[in-house]
Amino acid sequence: MDRRADLFVAVLVLAFSVLYFLAASKFGDTGREPLGEGSLPRLLAVIMAMGSGWVIFRRLSTWRRQWDHRVPSEVEQDDDPNYPVSPVRPLLMVGVALGYVVMLPTIGIVVSTPLAVMVGMRLWGVREWRTLLPVALGLTLAIYGLFAGFLEVLLPLWPAF
113 counts as binding another protein under rule CB under 8 A: yes
145 counts as binding another protein under rule CB under 8 A: no
153 counts as binding another protein under rule CB under 8 A: yes
Classify residue 70 by its DSSP letter.
B
160 counts as binding another protein under rule CB under 8 A: no
Nearest Cα residue to 53 out of 3, 13, 80: 13
| Contact call for residues 41 and 24 (beta carbons, < 8 A) | yes
47 counts as binding another protein under rule CB under 8 A: yes
117 counts as binding another protein under rule CB under 8 A: yes
Nearest Cα residue to 113 out of 93, 91, 78, 139: 139
Nearest Cα residue to 121 out of 107, 141, 137, 110: 137
Q: Which is nearer to another protein, 15 or 98 (CB)?
A: 98
Classify residue 68 by its DSSP letter.
S
128 counts as binding another protein under rule CB under 8 A: no
Nearest Cα residue to 144 out of 99, 100, 112, 97: 112
Binding residues with another protein: total (CB under 8 A): 67
Nearest Cα residue to 159 out of 119, 107, 118: 107
90 counts as binding another protein under rule CB under 8 A: yes
Residues that bind another protein in the complex, under the rule CB under 8 A = 1, 5-6, 9, 13, 20, 23-24, 27, 30, 32-35, 37, 40-41, 44-45, 47-48, 51-52, 54-55, 73-77, 79-80, 82-83, 85, 87, 89-90, 93-94, 97-98, 100-101, 104-105, 109, 113, 116-117, 120-121, 123-126, 131, 135, 139, 143, 146-147, 151-155
